[in-house]
């Protein structure tokens, strides 16, 4: 495996769960990490100049642009983006007991964070990665998105979550094709249940 030492990464949703575990692993591997999240959690600690927090709403164009610029200012480059920020909601399409349909604003919120937020961070990170000098494999950057097993087998009450993660899966290949000539690799993982920091 190629060394990650000295590379600069952004991890969204990095103050808890899979994002926090990812940020810690990257730090342990010698990366400098910009952690993006709505707010700091008690489990997050900045480590001198190697790990910096940046308050970020991933679906905000201004926040995503600021996060990428902050990474460039702090680390002088951006090599890796790991999209872990996410929202989940358990709600049926129609609740018979309450005689209510799924709230549209809740559905929109989940798609805003999981789908639009992921795409927003990808497009902004690409603006920085294309400026990198290619490595020996002609690579300038790597983008890793987080979908879910729910993208392929959503359960009861997961309509918004499954739709949002299915969209992340669907956009991965065209984005990878868009960016391959620029030396940027794009991939998506689809984890199931995981034991992660809270």
Q: Tens-of-pLDDT digits for all 198 residues of the chain?
A: 478 999 999 999 999 889 999 999 999 999 999 999 998 877 666 655 699 999 999 999 999 999 999 999 999 999 999 999 999 999 999 999 999 999 999 999 999 999 999 999 999 999 999 999 999 999 999 999 999 998 899 899 999 999 999 999 999 999 999 999 999 999 999 988 776 666
Is 34 part of any domain?
Answer: yes
Q: Give the list of residues 6+ apart from residue 42 with CB closer than 8 angstroms, or none.
A: none
What is the rounded distance in angstroms from the CA atom of residue 14 to the CA atom of residue 35? Answer: 5
CATH label of the domain that carries residue 181: 3.40.50.720
Is 163 part of any domain?
Answer: yes
Query: 3-state secondary structure string, 32-62?
Result: EEEEEECCCCCCCCCECCCEEEEECCCCCHH
What is the rounded distance in angstroms from the CA atom of residue 156 to the CA atom of residue 163? Answer: 13
Is 195 part of any domain?
Answer: no
Is 194 part of any domain?
Answer: no
Q: What is the pTM of this model?
A: 0.93
Exposure string of 41-63, with b = 16+ CB inside 10 Å and e = fewer, is: beebeeeeeebbbbebbbbeeeb
Active site residues: 161
């Amino acid at each position: 495996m190629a060394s990650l030492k000295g590379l600069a990464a952004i991890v969204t949703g990095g103050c808890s769960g899979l994002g926090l575990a990812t940020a810690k692993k990257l730090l342990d591997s010698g990366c400098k990490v910009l952690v993006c999240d709505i707010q700091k959690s008690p489990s997050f600690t900045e480590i001198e100049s190697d790990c910096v927090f940046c308050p970020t709403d991933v679906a905000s164009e201004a926040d995503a642009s600021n996060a990428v610029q902050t990474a460039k200012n702090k680390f002088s480059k951006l090599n890796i983006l790991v999209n872990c920020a996410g929202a989940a909601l358990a709600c049926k399409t129609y609740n018979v007991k309450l005689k209510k349909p799924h709230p549209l604003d809740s559905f929109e919120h989940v798609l805003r964070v999981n789908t639009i937020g992921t795409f927003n961070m990808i497009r902004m990170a690409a603006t920085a990665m294309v400026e990198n000098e290619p490595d020996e494999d002609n690579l300038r950057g790597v983008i890793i998105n987080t979908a879910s097993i729910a993208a392929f087998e959503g359960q009861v009450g997961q309509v918004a979550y499954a739709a949002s993660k299915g969209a992340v899966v669907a956009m991965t290949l065209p984005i990878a094709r868009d960016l391959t000539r620029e030396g940027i690799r794009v991939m998506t993982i689809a984890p199931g249940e995981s034991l992660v920091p809270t």
